[in-house]
Amino acid sequence: MTITEKILASAAGKEKVAPGEIVTVKVDLAMMTDIIGPRIEIAERLKELGARVWDPEKVVVVSDHYTPPATARQADIVKFTREWAQSQGIQRYHEYEGACHQILAEKGYIKPGMVAVGTDSHTCMGGAVGAFATGIGSTEMLGVLVTGEIWFKVPATIKVIWEGKPGAGVMAKDLILKTCGVIGHAGATYRALEFTGPAINALPMDERWCIANMAVEMGAKNGIIEADEVTAAFFQKIGVDEGKHFSSDPDAAYLQIIRLDAGQLEPQVACPPAVDQVHPIREVAGERIDQAYVGSCTGGRLNDLKAVAKILEGRKVAKNVRLLVSPASRDVYLEALKAGLLETIAAAGGVILAPTCGACVGAHSGLLAAGERCISATNRNFVGRMGSPQAEVYLASPATVAASAIEGRIADPRPYLEG
């Protein structure tokens, strides 16, 4: 079996499962946000059922999309979310602390071998530590909260092997954008994406989260990276038991195996209006931008901010360009502050935002006007994603975003790293 099949088999209490099989599994972790959380159907339906949360210790609620609130309505939603979590005895409630997936990661809530579900499509980010993690809707979450279980159709697995070693200026975001370009935005629909190979194994945890995060951009049910010594070191650092490891068998059956070479990769850019419209930087360099954004659960971790600060040090953001930077969490913010990274970014003309999903999802903190163009280290660029439907969003690595902010146009980060 593959690692995904083994996790689902274990959670279903079965020795073996096969792709296409329907299984009912026990849930180890259920996560909700403010934007798709208890206010959407769940709270009222629980009342109607006369039910309470099956196990408050396995539930995490994070207010991140509407914090800090930009409108009275957003403030009401955050207030409702906070009070509902308290009423259900949920201790793992987080507000103003950062993106939900980053919270799950750095608090050690998501562990190898777990089955984790969340009311956000990028819950698949948890696969970076060898968990089966996937996004679900509010109706499915209601069922999980009442029963502690959910059914899945076991997904067939596509294995993505990244060979080689990325060159300077090439980040995990470039690897996953290239993968999106190869597979397509719907090419992995209801499949498991298993990422492996020397290039993946060499990535630090900060970069691995980015890889698993964007599996859903290809339609995947989950993205997963086998836990290893890098994973173990991460959990040791945060003082959390690392859970149960699973690995794919040597004779596991894959729907498809894709081999790619990181050593031949140059920085990648996904052009609007789709994440799979991916081109090497040389084909899009020179396109004018109005805004550059680094942040979210995809591109706002410490490693990302280090890359941005390295390129910006001693330089200035181009006139008439807004560089906005939102650390992925409060902890990342503090680490970057202590390391002097935020000072470097601000000195170059960047604006430091609160740890929030606001700009990425187009709710607040950096919305685009009609006719504006943004290059972003986030995960989606469809029409209207960051504001006006008449705006355009290009996706790239934090390094490419930083270089573009300096030039006022889409730019290759590699010349800024030479020497």
Separation of alpha carbons 60 and 93, rounded Å: 6
* Alpha-carbon distances, residue 337 vs 98, 317, 340 (angstroms): 15, 20, 5
Render pLDDT for 280-297 as a digit per residue (tens, 0 to 9): 999 999 999 999 999 999
Separation of alpha carbons 106 and 108, rounded Å: 5
* Alpha-carbon distances, residue 223 vs 123, 196, 240 (angstroms): 10, 11, 22
Render pLDDT for 97-149 as a digit per residue (tens, 0 to 9): 999 999 999 999 999 999 999 999 999 999 999 999 999 999 999 999 999 99
Render pLDDT for 75-93 as a digit per residue (tens, 0 to 9): 999 999 999 999 999 999 9
Contact between 263 and 136 under an 8 Å Cβ cutoff? The reply is no
As a whole number, the mean pLDDT across the chain is 97
Contact between 325 and 308 under an 8 Å Cβ cutoff? The reply is yes
Written as six digits, the tokens of 170 are: 């090439």
Written as six digits, the tokens of 164 are: 């080689």
Work out the pLDDT band at 418, boundaries 50, 70, 90.
Answer: confident
Ordered domains of the chain (ranges, CATH): 3-260 (3.30.499.10), 268-414 (3.30.499.10)
> Residue 97: phi, psi to the nearest 5?
-110, -10
Separation of alpha carbons 16 and 10, rounded Å: 8
Give the per-residue pLDDT at 419: 58
Separation of alpha carbons 344 and 271, rounded Å: 29
Separation of alpha carbons 362 and 360, rounded Å: 6
User: Rounded to 5 degrees, what angle do the CA atoms 141, 142, 144 make?
Assistant: 60
Render pLDDT for 185-199 as a digit per residue (tens, 0 to 9): 999 999 999 999 999
Sign of CA dihedral 115, 9, 227, 217: negative
Contact between 35 and 361 under an 8 Å Cβ cutoff? The reply is yes
Cis amide prior to 355 (ω within 30 degrees)? no
Helix (H) or strand (E) holding 209: helix 205-213
Does the pLDDT of residue 337 top 70, yes or no?
yes
Separation of alpha carbons 334 and 147, rounded Å: 38
